[in-house]
Amino acid sequence: MVEATVGFIRAWIERFIDVQGIDRGMALAAQAFSALIPLLIVSSALVSQDGGSKFADNVIQRFELKGAAADTVRQAFTSSSTVEDSISILGLLLLLISALSFSRGMQRLYEGSYKLPALGMRNTKWGLLWLALLGVYAAVRPIAAGAIDSKAIAIVISLGGAAVAWTLSPVLLLGRRASLRRLLPGGLLTAFGMTVLGATSVVWFPRSIQSSADQFGVMGVAFAMLSWLVAAGIVLVVAATGGGVIADYADARRERRGAPPR
């Protein structure tokens, strides 16, 4: 039992090294920052009737920011009219290209974790579907969590929703080349890791924003968000590589039993 556990951990570390885990996590953070954060800001400003402050207010409420930190977060996000005036076809096109770049970064992570050949640009349609899934999940999750009074039930539902989203993510990003059964362990690991990160962020992230805002103003908020995205990127890499190793172990066990791998 001990030998098997040590062997599994060694294989997990080797898979993490194979995909250049630290570099991959930082690259994902940079791609997410350049694509998803502006997308959230623009969409929030356009749908909000409070002058584009909805996204900022959500951040302030989520992390219980006060004083200068709260004011700086509000300043970091432009008003609805400013965003609408600055939007152009070229800007939207560049935003789409950045978002697809992030999806390809995630695609390469899963391809390396599950040892599948790279599809590159041929997987663009599935990347677009994944971005749509991510948008739906980001919109529905807070609504579902806010509709439930019981904190314990809310956590269970949040974990369940995250597990579904993070299991479907590699299904789409891998172009449906792997089964749900094979990808489920990685999805569960990712859901657990991101939930733990979200829970612990309440402790350290407000201090990070406060300190960065005091030193660098609006730019400090960006630094703090980037630091959180780096942590999230590492969690994604660790979970994906762990899921790949578990899938390989499961395939090996099935082969020993005479059944074909899934």
User: What is residue 62's predicted lDDT score, i.e. its pLDDT?
Assistant: 67
Q: Is residue 48 part of a domain?
A: yes
Q: Is residue 261 part of a domain?
A: no
Q: Is residue 262 part of a domain?
A: no
Q: 14 is in which domain, residue-wise? A: 2-256
User: For a pLDDT cut of 70, what percent of the chain falls above it?
Assistant: 78
Q: Is residue 130 part of a domain?
A: yes
Q: Is residue 158 part of a domain?
A: yes
pLDDT tens profile 13-38: 999 999 999 999 999 999 988 876 66
| DSSP secondary structure letters along the chain | -HHHHHHHHHHHHHHHHHTTHHHHHHHHHHHHHHHHHHHHHHHHHHH-SSTT-HHHHHHHHHHT--HHHHHHHHHHS--HHHHHHH--HHHHHHHHHHHHHHHHHHHHHHHHHTT----GGGGHHHHHHHHHHHHHHHHHHHHHHHT---HHHHHHHHHHHHHHHHHHHHHHHTTT-S-HHHHHHHHHHHHHHHHHHHHHHHHHHHHHHHHHHHHHTHHHHHHHHHHHHHHHHHHHHHHHHHHHHHHHHHHHHHHHTTPPP-
What global pTM score does this model have?
0.84
Q: Is residue 198 part of a domain?
A: yes
Q: How many domains does the chain have?
A: 1
pLDDT tens profile 173-182: 999 999 999 9
pLDDT tens profile 105-132: 999 999 999 999 998 888 899 999 998 8
